[in-house]
Amino acid sequence: MFSLLRSSNAFAIDLGTNNTLVYQPSRGIILDEPTSISFDTKRSSFFDSGASSRRMWGKNPQHIEVMHPLSKGAIANLTVAKAYIKEVIARIAQSRFFKPTILVSVPSDLNSMERGAVVEACKDGGAREVMLIKDPFSAALGSMQEIELPKGVLVLDIGAGVSDISLLSCNGIVMSKSLRVAGNDLDEAIIEYFKANKRILISHNDAEHLKKELGNLINREEVTMQINVKNLVSRLPERFVASSHDVHQAIMPLVDKMVSLTHRMLSELPPAFAQDIYDQGILLTGGSSMLLGLDCYLSAKLEIAVNVVDNPLQNIILGAGRAMEDVRYSSLLGA
């Protein structure tokens, strides 16, 4: 199997809640797009996927459904996932006559049924063989950590759907904890905050934009941004000035849940790993790790160094690619 993964017709896939990335040995990342597919109810067929499908979200006519195959890191709708993966494989496969071998990076807390759904979706989507690797391994390898050594590496991965912290050593997971609260939940919290406290309704795209631009956890100086909203009292559209104070109020309860998750992990660390972790700190990755000041906030609360990886958005797919190419990590691959 490992030799198949190093062939020209093999690919690694980071099938994320919000984004899908594909890596091909010797070529690197060949696809990076939103995990989205659209369905035309009039014709009963899927017709678009990726970035063009994602752009329709919230602006689609009634007969078009913009679907997201994954929720909280797991497949939410198997039929939709199969259709989306089929589109991805059709674009990356070098020949429609030779089915590719696929390595998929998945959250560490998926149960056997959820893992089986990923394998089934990929095979029905056109893959010949499917192997899985857990996201903490991919995240550590993407940061060039040597996880095969008897040395603790603590990885905190905050993605769109799941926050996961894992202690790795000797090519294994010593212990891990996860929380189904992550970046998308921060967006929802912002929407709900403005709905409840300002009586306005904002779009998911605007909520994400506010999170990125105003969600600074360290600099408390107030910053504002003008957005277009729907007034829930007048029922009319209007311009609204959102402040960083409001965004901070909206997201902090969930950010503190991530702090609590990490604190519980640190409190339960086996003593043999204490020196390793406190020497090198926590490795922070995932798209939501880019929330301004999150690393500093975690470090201040936990009194330990927190180091953001160089490329949080692509870290997992680069690590999955490294696992494909390096025989030292073949034991990390499973079904």
Residue pLDDT, tens place only, 71-125: 888 888 889 999 999 999 888 886 667 789 999 999 888 889 989 999 999 999 8
Burial 104-132 (b: 16+ CB within 10 A, else e): bbbbbbbeeeebebbbebbbebbbebbbb
Q: How far is CA 70 from CA 12, 79, 179, 217, 246, in A?
A: 18, 11, 16, 28, 29
User: According to the model, what pLDDT value does residue 60 have?
Assistant: 87
All domains of the chain in start order, with CATH: 2-138+315-332 (3.30.420.40), 145-181+255-308 (3.30.420.40), 183-250 (3.90.640.10)
Q: How far is CA 248 from CA 94, 212, 222, in A?
A: 47, 11, 10
Rounded Cα gap, residues 216 and 159, in angstroms: 18
Residue 115: its H or E element: helix 112-124
User: According to the model, what pLDDT value does residue 335 have?
Assistant: 67
Q: Is 210 known as a binding-site position?
A: yes
- Identify the CA nearest to 39 among candidates 69, 63, 16, 71: 63
What is this structure's pTM? Answer: 0.90
User: According to the model, what pLDDT value does residue 96 have?
Assistant: 66
pLDDT at 136 over 90: yes
User: According to the model, what pLDDT value does residue 73 have?
Assistant: 81
Rounded Cα gap, residues 92 and 100, in angstroms: 9
Rounded Cα gap, residues 90 and 315, in angstroms: 24
Mean pLDDT of the region 49-74 = 89
Q: Within 13 Å of residue 270, how many CA atoms lie on the same side as its CB?
A: 13
Average pLDDT taken over every residue of the chain: 92
Q: Is 129 known as a binding-site position?
A: no
Query: Strands (DSSP E) along 191-223, which ranges?
Result: 200-201
Query: Strands (DSSP E) along 234-289, which ranges?
Result: 237-243, 282-285
Q: Is 211 known as a binding-site position?
A: yes
Q: Is 209 known as a binding-site position?
A: yes
User: According to the model, what pLDDT value does residue 6 have?
Assistant: 59
User: According to the model, what pLDDT value does residue 95 have?
Assistant: 66
**Residue type at 87?**
E
The least confident of 108-112, 145-149, 232-236 is 108-112
pLDDT at 4 over 60: no
Residue pLDDT, tens place only, 148-204: 999 999 999 999 999 999 999 999 999 999 999 999 999 999 999 999 999 999 999
User: Residues with Cβ < 8 Å from 219, sequence gap 6 or more?
Assistant: 292, 293
58, 203 contact by CB (below 8 A): yes
Residue pLDDT, tens place only, 275-303: 999 999 999 999 999 999 999 999 999 99
User: Residues with Cβ < 8 Å from 325, sequence gap 6 or more?
Assistant: 6, 25
pLDDT at 5 over 80: no
User: According to the model, what pLDDT value does residue 92 have?
Assistant: 87
